[in-house]
Amino acid sequence: MPGYAIAQLYDVDLNAEIVEYLERIDSTLAPFGGKFIVHGGAQQVIEGPASAVAIVIEFPDYQAVQDWHQSAAYQAILPLRTENCSSIAVLAQDCGKDHVATDVLKEAAS
């Protein structure tokens, strides 16, 4: 099942460091099979900070997204982003094609 890196970025200072981050991130994704699913384009914030931008990066599996996040290449550029915006970032596993909302209740009970 795919794994995902999901972020909400807000108060982004679009400066030279953010530009460098954007120029370098694709090369950190490639070895782990990562690809942007949501990044830029039309977005409508309906809750939360008005300036938030959603980003979703898909990986072949949850282990790959964890390995990417911990990789030396990504860790080297991460401060370029975190020091120039506020964010919430999550690594998540795909829930599967047959998932229904109440499946989380079963997981909580176990």
Name the 3-class secondary structure at 94: coil
CA distance 66 to 62: 6
- 22-65 confidence digits (pLDDT tens): 999 999 999 999 999 999 889 998 988 778 899 999 999 999 99
Lookup result for tokens 């795919």: 2
Tally Cβ neighbours within 10 Å of residue 104: 11
Residue 10, φ and ψ in degrees, nearest 5: -150, 160
% pLDDT > 70, the chain: 100
pTM: 0.91
Give the per-residue pLDDT at 15: 98
Q: Domains, the chain, ranges and CATH?
A: 3-109 (3.30.70.100)
Tally Cβ neighbours within 10 Å of residue 81: 19
Q: What is the mean pLDDT of the chain?
A: 94
Residue 71 pLDDT > 80? yes
